[in-house]
Amino acid sequence: MENAVVIDRLTKKFGDFTAVDEIGLTVQKGEIFGFLGANGAGKTTAIRMLCGLLLPTSGSGSVGGFDIYKETERIKKSIGYMSQKFSLYQDLTGDENLWFYGSVYQIPRRDLRKRMEELTETLGLSEFTNRPAGSLPVGWRQRLALATALLHRPKILFLDEPTAGIDPVFRRRFWEILYRLADEGTTLFVTTHYMDEAEFCRRISIMHQGKIIEVGKPQDLIARYDQPNLQETFITLISQEGGNG
């Protein structure tokens, strides 16, 4: 099977501080991969390197077959990225946001119109696209942000805490959308603090203080650490590593 993401000893230093410390991973095409870790573990920094937005200090990596040092422009065109920080223009309506991002991706007008209709329909956004993004409840805003990340039909989608602060019913619906995308062949690389969501992932990694300390299927990790559930497994792993994480 082809790989969507391959990284080896990937490192990012900010001055003397090592935010991402020699991490290695392989994510298969079409896989839902959960990229877990406590706050400050280095997840966002790693994702930004994979999305071609931040140059690594050392190590290697490729995303969709493109090199994360030399082919960042091609990476940006072929992936979708839903950033942790809110990326929508608050004063623009949903439609205007979609139109704006569509032009950033240089999608021809007619295709863009069609794609916007499709996404509005499949994400259930139709009632919300003519309201300012800033006035929408968080759950709808995140769906709109997902729509902007999907406009150019990316094969690999990076989602950085897409459901943070959303209620459980909405989170479940958001994940139904993600499942549908995965069924259609999209690779999903997603961070979350919700362990129920992490259990939806085919495989997960757990990051702590810049390092990946475990990788595996949720059920395998739970068994390996002899814990009742993923929440306890996560806590056990992070606490046995020590430090202030």
**209 near Mg ion, judged by CB under 5 A:** no
Q: Which one, of 149, 198, 151, 203, lies nearest residue 171 by Cα? A: 198
**142 near Mg ion, judged by CB under 5 A:** no
Q: If contact means CB under 5 to 8 A according to the sort of partner, which of ligand ADP, Mg ion, none does residue 50 touch?
A: none
User: Please, what is the end-to-end C-alpha distance for the chain in angstroms?
Assistant: 35
Instruction: Assess contact for 156 and 64: CB atoms under 8 A.
Output: yes
Q: If contact means CB under 5 to 8 A according to the sort of partner, which of Mg ion, ligand ADP, none does residue 39 touch?
A: ligand ADP
Residues 20-59, one symbol each (x = binds Mg ion by CB under 5 A, - = not), give -----------------------xx---------------
Summarize as ranges the residues that interact with ligand ADP (CB under 6 A): 14, 17, 19, 37, 39-45
- The single-letter code of the amino acid at 130 is N
Least distance in angstroms from the C-beta of 161 to Mg ion? 6
Closer by beta carbon to Mg ion, 11 or else 120: 11
Least distance in angstroms from the C-beta of 44 to Mg ion? 3
Least distance in angstroms from the C-beta of 166 to ligand ADP? 18
Least distance in angstroms from the C-beta of 211 to ligand ADP? 12
Q: Which residues pair with 88 in a beta bridge?
A: none
**83 near Mg ion, judged by CB under 5 A:** no
Contacts of 27-30 spanning 24+ positions with Cβ under 8 A: 27/3, 27/187, 27/189, 27/203, 28/1, 28/2, 28/3, 28/4, 28/187, 29/1, 29/2, 29/3, 29/4, 29/155, 29/185, 29/187, 30/4, 30/182, 30/185, 30/186, 30/187
Least distance in angstroms from the C-beta of 51 to Mg ion? 13
Q: Applying CB under 5 A, which residues contact Mg ion?
A: 43-44, 84
